[in-house]
């Protein structure tokens, strides 16, 4: 078993070793080993040129990273939390995402923006947004959202090797969680293709689609529902943009029911996009009930724990939504 933290550390270590153009920069990534210890040991191993501590200025160091990418390097830019990427959103969207298109393909921007995304625990409204829908909205970016250790390692390696700007949305509450990792995933050549969802559990009655930490909640809900004779198919999106809608469609054709689950807000969310795409496509004719969204509450995140719990989708909310769509 390997924790998500160690899987990300392995991926960074392997890619820094494999390609000398790769470097890591951000607040406290070097001497302190990273705010979440993701970059533990890398500064000692690779030195000041490859692992760089920056001042507390997201706009500044994101801009340096984007310029370095345009000049042929492959930066990995860590935000201490994606909430702070709002300080650098001009660099991410106007500089990184649009340059390849605006230069008619002559300037690539191979950069990875990574860090924890979504609600953590007790950090209140300004540190609890999910940015999957925000960045997933923007052409020119790829957006990935890993759940387990295998996702984290395979998607980070694929993101670093990709010639496009990639936003990698991790989850702080998953960093210390250990997951089984296959022998194949331990190899230095292991990558997960960007844009491909994974069916985590086969089922026949209802399709559950999720990304990041709520995938685990979906599997827990599926285990409870299985005891009541309801077989859920659980899909781990892995990638927000480009979205693998084909896997979702094929599942809906099989189960005839759809529930989406996410930690972000409901309006214009990832679930809203999935529902729209299913409605517009061939799978719509197979739905036996309206698709149901389970999302975070439509409020700024409260600080009090009991209110926070009520704002974040829980296993019981998923079970309720499944029973509602199946009319049981």
DSSP 268-318: T-HHHHHHHHHHHSGGGGG-SS--EEE---SSPPPSSHHHHHHHS--HHHH
∠ CA 32-38-42, rounded to 5°:
65
Write out pLDDT tens, residues 61-81.
999 999 999 999 999 999 999
**Fold exhibited by the domain 198-326:** Rossmann fold (3.40.50)
Q: Specify the 3-state DSSP secondary structure of 180.
A: coil
pLDDT at residue 324, as a whole number: 96
> What is the pLDDT averaged over residues 193-219?
98
Q: How many whole angstroms separate alpha carbon 167 and alpha carbon 106?
A: 21
Common-topology check for domains 2-186 and 198-326: yes
Write out pLDDT tens, residues 277-300.
999 999 999 999 999 999 999 999
Write out pLDDT tens, residues 125-139.
999 999 999 999 999
| 205 carries an active-site annotation | no
Max Cα-Cα span within the chain: 60
Catalytic entry in 14, 15, 27, 58: 58
pTM of the predicted model as reported, rounded to 2 decimal places: 0.96
Catalytic entry in 127, 211, 217, 257: 127
Class of domain 2-186: alpha beta
- By C-alpha distance, which of 150, 130, 145 is closest to 240? 145
pLDDT band at 180 (very low <50, low <70, confident <90, very high): very high
Average pLDDT, the chain: 97
| 200 carries an active-site annotation | no
In sign, the C-alpha dihedral spanning 155, 158, 160, 163 is negative
pLDDT band at 235 (very low <50, low <70, confident <90, very high): very high
pLDDT at residue 200, as a whole number: 98
pLDDT band at 307 (very low <50, low <70, confident <90, very high): very high
> What is the pLDDT averaged over residues 165-191?
96
pLDDT at residue 22, as a whole number: 98
Write out pLDDT tens, residues 108-118.
999 999 999 99
Return the bridge partners of 74, or none: 22
How many Cβ atoms are within 10 Å of 60's Cβ, its own excluded?
A: 14
Query: What residue ranges do the domains of the chain occupy?
Result: 2-186, 198-326
Give the rounded percent of residues in the chain with a pLDDT score beyond 70: 100
């Amino acid at each position: 078993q390997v924790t998500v933290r160690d899987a990300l550390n392995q991926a960074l270590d392997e890619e820094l070793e494999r390609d000398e153009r790769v470097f890591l920069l951000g607040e406290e990534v070097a001497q302190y080993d990273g705010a979440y210890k993701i970059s533990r040991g890398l500064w000692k191993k690779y030195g000041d040129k490859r692992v760089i501590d920056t001042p507390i200025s997201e706009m500044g160091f994101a801009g340096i990273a984007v310029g370095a990418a345009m000049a042929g390097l492959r930066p990995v830019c860590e935000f201490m939390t994606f909430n702070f990427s709002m300080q650098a959103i001009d660099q991410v969207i106007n500089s990184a995402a649009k340059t390849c298109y605006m230069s008619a393909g002559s300037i690539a921007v191979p950069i990875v923006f990574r860090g924890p995304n979504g609600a953590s625990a007790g950090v209140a409204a300004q540190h609890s947004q999910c940015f999957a829908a925000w960045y997933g909205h923007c052409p020119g970016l790829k957006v990935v959202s890993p759940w387990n250790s295998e996702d984290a390692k395979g998607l980070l390696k694929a993101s670093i090797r990709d010639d496009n700007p990639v936003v990698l949305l991790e989850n702080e509450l998953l960093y210390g969680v250990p997951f089984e990792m296959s022998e194949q995933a331990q190899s230095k050549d292991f990558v997960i293709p960007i844009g491909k969802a994974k069916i985590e559990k086969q089922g026949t009655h209802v399709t559950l689609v999720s990304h990041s930490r709520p995938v685990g909640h979906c599997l827990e809900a599926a285990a409870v529902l299985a005891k009541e004779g309801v077989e859920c198919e659980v899909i781990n999106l892995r990638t927000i943009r480009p979205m693998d809608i084909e896997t979702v469609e094929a599942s809906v054709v099989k189960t005839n029911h759809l529930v989406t689950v996410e930690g972000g807000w409901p309006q214009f969310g990832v679930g809203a996009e999935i529902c729209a795409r299913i409605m517009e496509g061939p799978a719509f004719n197979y739905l036996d009930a309206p698709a149901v969204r389970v999302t975070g509450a439509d409020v700024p995140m409260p600080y009090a724990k009991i209110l926070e719990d009520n704002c974040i989708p829980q296993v019981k909310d998923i079970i309720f939504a499944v029973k509602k769509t199946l009319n049981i």
